[in-house]
Every structure is written in C-alpha cells, then in structure tokens.
Amino acid sequence: GTADEFISPPRFPETLTRIAGPQAMDQSWRQTQANHRLQRARLAIDTLTQLSTLGWDVRGALAIAQNGLRHAETFEPSMRLLANMPSPNAQQALFDLAWAPDLGKNVREMAVGALGESIRSHGILLTNSTLRIINDMYNISSRGGDSSIDHSLVALFRLPRQSAAADAQETN
C-alpha cells in the first residue's frame, strides 16, 4: 500500500487540532505528513540494513521490517533488511512472500532473491515444517500459480553440483 491508502479522517478532531494546530484537519496536510513519515521510515530501514552489513545485530528490528513489507515505499528496504538478519523468522517472512501464489510475480521473484541472499549469508534457518513444504514443492509438479517461481524457490535448497563427472554418473 501507499500513504494515500492509509489516511482516514481523524477520530478525535478537537484533540488533534489542539496538539497539531488547525492545519491538522486539512486532508492534504495530513497526506503530506504521512508521506514524510514513510520517507523517514525508509531511511531508517536503509540505515538498519547498512548497520547489519557492518556486523551489527539488528534482529530486534524484525517487527519493523515485517511492518515495512506492508507499504510500497518501505517494501524493498524491508526485504533487504530481512535478508541481512540471521533469523529463522526473517527467512520465514521472505519464504512466505515467495510462496504466496496470490502475490504478483515481481514481488515473489524479489522475495526468492532475498531469501537466496539470506541462505547464502546465514545458512538455512527455516523450520522443519517449512522445509517439508519445500520438499513437497519439489515432489509435486505444480500447485497452480507461476511454477517458474516455485522452481526458483526449490532451487535455493538443492545441493550444488560437485563436478561434471558427477553429472555424467547420474545419467548412466
């Protein structure tokens, strides 16, 4: 969603006017303020991502990253932050996005990429129940939706090929 979708009339107009002034009743002013808050949130999430690449433990920001997935302005930075977190819950959030057939293909592809980054950096931290889902995806040809994304998701969990000789042995 965008900031445009989340602006509703104030519930306590008198209190809002007293605290923020009469402009707080103006819908365009409130919209502008919401956009500024989302810009600051994006900057904060980007800063947390930078800190995580420098070795800081940002697992405490999991809820912030998950909330950031709800807004278009903070979606991509939140996915980068989740990919940098050495956390089963962060990997689960990325897997859930990648696995959701009702989401757009581009969102799912981004989630597969972010999950791949997380796995390369931190190893597989997902729970056994999620790994069973991946195993089922490997064994079931299609569950509907875009199978190319499912194949990309399953490919994250395949062992890398050791050599061409190993490939030749498999075909014999």
User: Helices H, strands E: what count in the chain?
Assistant: 9, 0
CA-CA distance, 48 to 52, in Å (whole number)? 6
Would you say 8 and 28 are in contact if contact means Cβ atoms under 8 Å apart?
no
Which of 26, 17, 16, 15 shows the shortest CA–CA distance to 7? 26
Kindly give the confidence (pLDDT) of every residue in the chain, 172 residues in length, as a single tens digit, with 9 standing for 90 and above.
554 556 777 788 888 888 888 888 888 888 898 899 999 999 999 999 999 999 999 999 999 999 999 999 999 999 999 999 999 999 999 999 999 989 999 999 999 999 999 999 999 999 999 999 998 888 876 555 557 888 899 899 887 665 555 555 555 5
Angle at 69 between CA 99 and CA 107, to 5 degrees: 45
Full-model pTM: 0.78
